[in-house]
């Protein structure tokens, strides 16, 4: 199983200035300021489970932009109901990317209080039609093309290795900076 | 016009483009009026915290979002108010049904009615109780404008009788 960073590198490399990237709190949000991202980024440092509904609000308001929302499995486990909300709203310009490592990585690596979740099955049960599991970073390019072309919102599920030794940088941008820099 | 229609006219006049909601019997009546609007997208969400994030996303994208929920749902929203709305200084306008005050005929709402204003004050959320004898639309517009100017939240509390 591949670790996070190769997936994040691959995904970021596929984004264009016409996209919008919304990141959940934690490792992805901490890595992004250290990467070159072509798309505007709104990264959370608190508020678990807010990334997808925040991205939904952006996607519905700006149908001309494709919005990519990064969410962690611990965070989505807190409010999986949002999958049904997104499915019902149906914006074709929203792709959710779920990072599945079974742990609350940013709070010390505690295991999730759940048996391994079948996220694709849950997402389909919630009404999402386009759900794909991507097991290697090299598969992201085709998966994102397919997600962009789907007639409704898409979910990409990325099983990643949990690496307690990953040297994740600290939060290096403050919320005021993130907000001030975010323009569509 | 009914009170619900006056409130929606206020939302329209304030430039609200998206109203995210979890209904109760009162908010459901208000959302029925929102759905009749040609200017506001009505979005049904499954939990109130989603509505807050959706509205913030709409605001970040150049629209204007509003959150229409019951006070029980507002009580759910302490975390996202602190960790998103306040932390990132985002405008967020709420219309909240004030269940359980003296005007509410349903007994089981009373505990929520007792804690709503105290919670708003403890969370330092600016709020007002709608005055149906006055211009409801103007009260809505002022609230929305306040969120834009203050880059923060504002809560307008309504009762069922305000919608008549």
Q: What does the pLDDT read at residue A159? A: 97
Show me where the domains of chain A are located: 4-181
Q: What does the pLDDT read at residue B33? A: 98
Q: Which residues of A touch B (CB under 8 A)?
A: 20, 22, 42, 44-47, 49-50, 52-62, 65, 79, 81-82, 84-85, 88-89, 175-176, 178-179, 182, 184
What confidence tier does A115 reach under pLDDT thresholds 50, 70, 90?
A: confident
Exposure of B15 by Cβ count < 10 A (0-12 exposed, 13-18 middle, 19+ buried)?
middle
Question: How far apart (Å, rounded) are the C-alpha atoms in residues B77 and B93?
Answer: 13
Nearest to B22 by CA among B71, B83, B84, B81: B71
Q: What does the pLDDT read at residue B164? A: 96
Q: Provide, as residue numbers in chain A, all residues whose Cβ is less than 8 Å from the Cβ of B77.
A: none
Query: Is B132 a residue whose pLDDT tops 90?
Result: yes
Buried b (16+ CB within 10 A) or exposed e, A113-126: eeeebebbebbbeb
Q: What does the pLDDT read at residue A108? A: 87
Candidates A59, A89, A175; nearest CB to B88: A175
How do residues B65-89 score in pLDDT, each as one tens digit?
Answer: 999 999 999 999 999 999 999 999 9
- Average pLDDT in chain B: 97
How do residues B54-69 score in pLDDT, each as one tens digit?
Answer: 999 999 999 999 999 9
Q: Provide, as residue numbers in chain A, all residues whose Cβ is less than 8 Å from the Cβ of B17.
A: 61
Question: How far apart (Å, rounded) are the C-alpha atoms in residues B128 and A100?
Answer: 43
Q: What does the pLDDT read at residue B142? A: 98
Number of domains in chain B: 1
How do residues A47-82 score in pLDDT, each as one tens digit?
Answer: 999 999 999 999 999 999 999 999 999 999 999 999
- Average pLDDT in chain A: 96
Nearest to B138 by CA among B3, B14, B4: B14
Query: Is A16 a residue whose pLDDT tops 90?
Result: yes
* Closest residue in B to A55 (Cα–Cα): B57
What confidence tier does A116 reach under pLDDT thresholds 50, 70, 90?
A: confident
Strands A94-100, A41-43: pairing is unpaired
The reply to whether residue A179 touches residue B43, judged by beta carbons under 8 angstroms, is: no
Percent of chain A with pLDDT over 70: 100
Query: Is A106 a residue whose pLDDT tops 90?
Result: no
The reply to whether residue A53 touches residue B90, judged by beta carbons under 8 angstroms, is: no
Average confidence (pLDDT) over B24-40: 97
- CATH code for position B119: 3.40.50.970
> In sequence order, which residues have a C-beta less than 8 Å from that of residue A125 and are 6 or more positions away?
none
Q: Which two tokens mark B11?
A: 């939302």
> In sequence order, which residues have a C-beta less than 8 Å from that of residue A114 and are 6 or more positions away?
A77
Rounded CA Rg of chain A: 15
Interface check for B39 against chain A (CB to CB < 8 A): the answer is no
The reply to whether residue B46 touches residue A182, judged by beta carbons under 8 angstroms, is: no
Candidates B45, B47, B83; nearest CB to A47: B83
CATH architecture of A4-181: 3-Layer(aba) Sandwich (3.40)
Q: Provide, as residue numbers in chain B, all residues whose Cβ is less than 8 Å from the Cβ of A55.
A: 57
Average confidence (pLDDT) over B10-24: 98
Q: Provide, as residue numbers in chain A, all residues whose Cβ is less than 8 Å from the Cβ of B61.
A: 20, 57-58, 61-62, 65, 184
Question: Which residues 49-68 of chain B have a CB within 8 Å of chain A?
Answer: 49-63, 65
What confidence tier does A166 reach under pLDDT thresholds 50, 70, 90?
A: confident
Buried b (16+ CB within 10 A) or exposed e, B72-87: bbbbbbebbbebbbbb
Q: Which two tokens mark A147?
A: 């997600």
Average confidence (pLDDT) over B114-125: 97
Write out the residue range of the structural domain in which residue B16 sits. Answer: 3-163
Q: What does the pLDDT read at residue A131? A: 98
């Amino acid at each position: 199983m591949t670790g996070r960073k190769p997936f994040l590198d691959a995904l970021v490399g596929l984004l264009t200035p016409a996209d919008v990237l919304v990141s959940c709190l934690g490792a992805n949000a901490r890595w992004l300021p250290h990467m070159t991202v072509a798309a505007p980024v709104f990264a959370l440092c608190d508020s678990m489970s807010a990334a997808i509904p925040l991205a939904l609000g952006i996607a519905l308001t700006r149908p001309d932009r494709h919005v990519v929302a990064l969410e962690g499995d611990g965070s989505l486990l807190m409010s999986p109901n949002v999958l049904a909300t997104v499915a019902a709203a149906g914006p074709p310009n929203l792709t959710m990317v779920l990072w599945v490592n079974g742990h609350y990585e940013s709070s010390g690596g505690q295991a999730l209080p759940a048996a391994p979740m079948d996220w694709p099955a849950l997402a389909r049960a919630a009404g999402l039609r386009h759900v794909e599991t991507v097991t290697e970073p090299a598969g992201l390019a085709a998966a994102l093309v397919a997600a962009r072309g789907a007639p409704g919102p898409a979910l990409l599920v990325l099983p990643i290795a949990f690496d307690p030794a990953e040297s994740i940088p600290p939060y290096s941008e403050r919320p005021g900076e993130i907000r001030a820099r975010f323009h569509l | 016009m009914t009170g619900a229609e006056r409130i929606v006219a206020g939302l329209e006049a304030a430039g609200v483009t998206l109203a995210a909601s979890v209904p109760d019997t009162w908010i459901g009546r208000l959302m029925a009026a929102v759905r009749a609007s040609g200017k506001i997208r009505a979005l049904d969400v499954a939990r109130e915290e989603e509505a807050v994030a959706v509205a913030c996303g709409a605001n970040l994208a150049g629209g204007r979002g509003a959150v229409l929920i019951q006070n029980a749902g507002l009580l759910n929203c302490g975390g996202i108010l602190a960790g998103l709305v306040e932390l990132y200084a985002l405008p967020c306008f709420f219309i909240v049904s004030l269940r359980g005050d003296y005007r509410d005929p349903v007994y089981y709402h009373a505990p929520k009615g007792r804690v709503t204003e105290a919670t708003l004050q403890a969370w330092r959320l600016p709020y007002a109780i709608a005055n149906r004898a006055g211009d409801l639309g103007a009260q809505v517009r002022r609230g929305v404008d306040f969120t834009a100017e203050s880059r923060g939240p504002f809560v307008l509390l309504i009762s069922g009788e305000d919608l008549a």
